[in-house]
A and B are shown apart, each in its own frame.
Chain A
Amino acid sequence: MSESDDITIEEVRHLALLTRINMTDHEIEEMRDQMSDILASIEVLSEVDTDGIEPTGHSVDVHSVMREDISSDSITLEDALANAPRQEDGFIRVRAVLEE
């Protein structure tokens, strides 16, 4: 959390790639400015002494939930596919993953 540098255009481009969101140059620049402002406002956390403090992931204690291994009804194939943008013969159709 070094306070010196704003997030760079290159970093935002990389984030766009990681998040798989296509962005125009203008959107990248706008995002850089807004993210820099937001990250600057988050800097205040560096004031807080957290030495020896355990992190909290959930505000309630979360335990693994086990159930009996008994089969039960599930949604039908028809229902499961009903919202798929493209389907064929009971399958979801996707584009080729491997190319050329």
Chain B
Amino acid sequence: MSTLDIKGITISVARRLLDEKEVSSEELTQAYLDRISNIEGNIHSFVSVTADTAIEQAKAADNMISKGLQGTLTGIPMQLKDNMSTEGIPTTCSSKMLENFVPPYDAHVTAKLKDAGAVLLGKGNLDEFAMGSSTENSAMKVTHNPWDLEKVPGGSSGGPAAAVAASECVFSLGSDTGGSIRQPASLCGVVGMKPTYGLVSRFGLVAFASSLDQIGPITSDVEDSAVVLSHIAGHDQRDSTSLNVEVPDYTQGLDGDLTGLKVGVPIEYFAEGIDQGVETSVRDAIKILGDLGAEIIETSLPHSAYALAVYYIIAPSEASANLSRYDGVKYGYSNDDQGSMWQALENTRQIGFGPEVKRRIMLGTYALSSGYYDAYYLKAQKVRTIIRNEFKEAFQNFDVLAMPTAPTTAFDIGGKTDDPIQMYLNDIFTIPANIAGIPAISVSCGVIDGLPVGLQFMAGALQEKKLFRAAYAYQKATNWHTLRASI
């Protein structure tokens, strides 16, 4: 048992070890808890570690396995981003506002994964309320990139991406409003997938921008991503935007062959601020898709260039409404030391929220205020229509689009914290998928100066299988995804 090397193991490897009784879930879980104890002081990817309940869940999983009743995820140790509700376990959103909040119920995804027998190791760090691209906006801790501890892991799902990259869990879930799954996956060299808007229920996900938020898997490889999505997707009547569609088995049809697949390469995603090395890596990756039988065609999505501006109106507007609920009365942080009811409320929100959250609440309130509504919010929603239609049209000609996930590799901790706009530009290539509501995935396609590069695929709404097919074939033909940070 002491020789068990958990570094980089996937769900399928862990499944085989468990099913062949080479290791019990309790032993496997303990191995992850030990690894967390050993390296977490360098990575800081967990807001909380739930060792006791993890061991209990692992024992229950071992019981299922002994009876031959296991499923694909039974006994597999996982992490969840700390904006997904976990009954009886604090869910902080990495905010002082929810530091002591203990949800009375599970999020839909939490319940689904618990039912599947997965073992929860703890909750992953994030930028406060998922607002950010480096996880430096966390009120709890700064997460470090396992590939280089001086660098950020990306964000806002920086904890989940770093935890998977550092083998502190087999898989994790992130949430993606403008790139918060894919950008950190890219910066940490793991697989991050954002499903079609509405495919995964948002029930129990703490709301940031409700028309954009979507939960998805962060995993070691594409197969694991398909496995996890198959478990969490599906209709839920508690989310009014949940799609009532049949969920296919996303692991079917992953064969490595791309014959006949039409891949569009939009020129706008190779402009503006892209690092030369990133461009080269991604273009090399696209050539490999061609070698695998795909037809590669250059295309143009001119309005993608406006997606960032649309996002910075729509997301803060929705956030300003969603975050008005934090009043220090019903739950959450409360500063009731002095003054009137209004002063108590204003002090609560002054101390409870960090700078980026305040910035977005105020920006959103401004964009929604009378006199500015038409110029900002309505204008953004109209441009959103154009962007969405442009993608729809593109997917009449192409099965998938291929482009970089982020314009650069991981940057220095503290390097962009003083300049919000520089920070926002990290998401320039990921945001369009949220605006259009379409699925997208990031897979590792290179390493520059010791830091991973991400290749992104986008597909039409509910065409997840095409994404997985393309991404799987790329991984099968390359070995970037098997490289691990040395920690």
Segment of B113-121, B259-267, B325-333 in the binding face: B325-333
Q: A16-B362, A80-B104, A96-B341 are in contact. Are A21 and B350 (CB under 8 A)?
A: yes
Q: Are A83 and B101 in contact (CB under 8 A)?
A: yes
Interface check B420, CB cutoff 8 A: yes
* Partner pick for B309 among A42, A53, A83, CB 8 A cutoff: A42
Question: Which chain A positions have C-beta within 8 A of B313?
Answer: 42, 45
Distance (whole angstroms) from the CB of A94 to the closest CB of chain B? 6
Interface check A12, CB cutoff 8 A: yes
Interface check B243, CB cutoff 8 A: yes
Distance (whole angstroms) from the CB of A98 to the closest CB of chain B? 9
Q: Whole-angstrom distance between the alpha carbons of A43 and B384 in the complex?
A: 15
Q: A48-B386, A99-B340 are in contact. Are A75 and B363 (CB under 8 A)?
A: no
Interface check B198, CB cutoff 8 A: yes
Which single residue of chain B is at the shortest CB-CB distance from A60? Answer: B198
Distance (whole angstroms) from the CB of A36 to the closest CB of chain B? 11
* Interface contact tally, CB-CB below 8 A: 169
Q: Which of B293-316 contact A (CB under 8 A)?
A: 303, 305-306, 309-310, 312-313
Q: A35-B362, A38-B421, A79-B104 are in contact. Are A85 and B384 (CB under 8 A)?
A: no
Question: Which chain B positions have C-beta within 8 A of A50?
Answer: 379, 382-383, 386
Question: Which chain A positions have C-beta within 8 A of B45?
Answer: none
Q: Whole-angstrom distance between the alpha carbons of A37 and B420 in the complex?
A: 9
Question: Which chain B positions have C-beta within 8 A of A97?
Answer: 341
Q: Are A65 and B237 in contact (CB under 8 A)?
A: yes
Question: Which chain B positions have C-beta within 8 A of A83?
Answer: 100-102, 104, 330-332
* Partner pick for A60 among B324, B329, B380, B461, CB 8 A cutoff: B461
Q: Are B361 and A19 in contact (CB under 8 A)?
A: yes
Q: Whole-angstrom distance between the alpha carbons of A21 and B211 in the complex?
A: 25
* Partner pick for B388 among A7, A45, A56, A86, CB 8 A cutoff: A56
Q: Specify the main secondary structure of chain B where it touches its partner.
A: helix
Which single residue of chain B is at the shortest CB-CB distance from A48? Answer: B383
Contact with B along A79-100 (1 / 0, CB 8 A): 1101111100000101111010
Interface check B197, CB cutoff 8 A: yes
Q: Are A84 and B388 in contact (CB under 8 A)?
A: no
Contact with B along A56-73 (1 / 0, CB 8 A): 111110101101000000
Q: A12-B362, A50-B383, A95-B341 are in contact. Are A60 and B102 (CB under 8 A)?
A: no
Distance (whole angstroms) from the CB of B355 to the closest CB of chain A? 8
Q: Are B362 and A21 in contact (CB under 8 A)?
A: yes
Question: Which chain A positions have C-beta within 8 A of B379?
Answer: 1, 45-46, 48, 50
Q: Whole-angstrom distance between the alpha carbons of A45 and B312 in the complex?
A: 11
Interface check B448, CB cutoff 8 A: no
Interface check B322, CB cutoff 8 A: no
Interface check A9, CB cutoff 8 A: no
Question: Which chain B positions have C-beta within 8 A of A44?
Answer: 305-306, 309
Q: A22-B346, A31-B362, A55-B384 are in contact. Are A1 and B378 (CB under 8 A)?
A: no
Q: How many of chain A's residues have a CB under 8 angstroms from any CB in B?
A: 53
Q: A59-B197, A59-B211, A94-B329 are in contact. Are A54 and B359 (CB under 8 A)?
A: no
Which single residue of chain B is at the shortest CB-CB distance from A75? Answer: B104
Question: Which chain B positions have C-beta within 8 A of A16?
Answer: 362
Distance (whole angstroms) from the CB of A78 to the closest CB of chain B? 9
Q: Are A20 and B349 in contact (CB under 8 A)?
A: yes
* Partner pick for A38 among B329, B350, B363, CB 8 A cutoff: B363
Q: Are A41 and B344 in contact (CB under 8 A)?
A: no
Question: Which chain A positions have C-beta within 8 A of B211?
Answer: 57-59
Distance (whole angstroms) from the CB of A97 to the closest CB of chain B? 6
Q: Which among A7, A21, A83, A96 has the highest number of chain B CB atoms within 10 Å? A: A21
Question: Which chain A positions have C-beta within 8 A of B196?
Answer: 60
Question: Which chain A positions have C-beta within 8 A of B329?
Answer: 84-85, 92, 94
Q: Are A84 and B330 in contact (CB under 8 A)?
A: yes
Question: Which chain A positions have C-beta within 8 A of B376?
Answer: 1, 42
Distance (whole angstroms) from the CB of B463 to the closest CB of chain A? 14
Distance (whole angstroms) from the CB of A13 to the closest CB of chain B? 11
Interface check B320, CB cutoff 8 A: yes
Q: Which among B243, B333, B340 has the highest number of chain A CB atoms within 10 Å? A: B340
Q: Are A7 and B366 in contact (CB under 8 A)?
A: yes
Q: Which of B176-212 contact A (CB under 8 A)?
A: 196-198, 211
Question: Which chain A positions have C-beta within 8 A of B306?
Answer: 44-45, 47-48
Q: Are A60 and B312 in contact (CB under 8 A)?
A: no
Interface check B280, CB cutoff 8 A: no
Contact with A along B335-364 (1 / 0, CB 8 A): 010001111111101100100001101110
Question: Which chain A positions have C-beta within 8 A of B342?
Answer: 20
Distance (whole angstroms) from the CB of B266 to the closest CB of chain A? 17
Q: Whole-angstrom distance between the alpha carbons of A19 and B353 in the complex?
A: 12
Beyond contacts A12-B362, A54-B382, A85-B331: 14 other A-B pairs, Cβ-Cβ < 8 A, are: A19-B349, A19-B358, A21-B349, A22-B347, A23-B358, A34-B359, A34-B420, A59-B197, A59-B435, A60-B198, A60-B241, A62-B241, A83-B330, A86-B336
Q: Can you show 28 pairs from A to B with CB atoms below 8 A apart?
A: A12-B362, A15-B362, A21-B346, A21-B353, A23-B358, A31-B362, A34-B420, A35-B366, A37-B421, A38-B424, A39-B363, A41-B309, A42-B312, A45-B379, A48-B379, A56-B384, A56-B385, A59-B211, A59-B388, A60-B198, A79-B104, A82-B102, A83-B101, A84-B330, A85-B329, A85-B331, A92-B329, A94-B329
